[in-house]
Structure 1
Amino acid sequence: MAKHNTQETVSSYISKCRKGSIRSVFPGEMMSKKLGEIQKGKSKAHKTAWKLLNDSRFKK
């Protein structure tokens, strides 16, 4: 779960725990951020990214 790995970068989390297809819909500017930053972010991009990271459609 993304909320348990807050110090990990999004790119490495996606590689380990999510299907590659998430990359086509994921906001590109969020790829280098840490999961904790995205979880606490208030912008639309942060909210979209967090929702996608926790979406069961993209689980491996």
Structure 2
Amino acid sequence: MWNLPVTNFTQYSVPQQSSLYDDVDLTEPMRPSRTISMSDMLAIIAAFCGAVTICTVLIKLWF
């Protein structure tokens, strides 16, 4: 269910990012990683939420 909006966001963000990065050389191998920015942000947010919950659980266990 969640894979569909992520792919839609990446498809819509490709022409905008390509127009923004026209001045930059597109021959870099790490360039396609910018098209996965939405899923990367979601993964980072999920990791932060998981770390916060783990820290709160540990604090509640120790104190």
TM-score between both structures, scaled by the size of structure 2: 0.26
TM-score between both structures, scaled by the size of structure 1: 0.26
Higher normalized helix content (fraction of residues): 2
Higher gyration radius (CA): 2
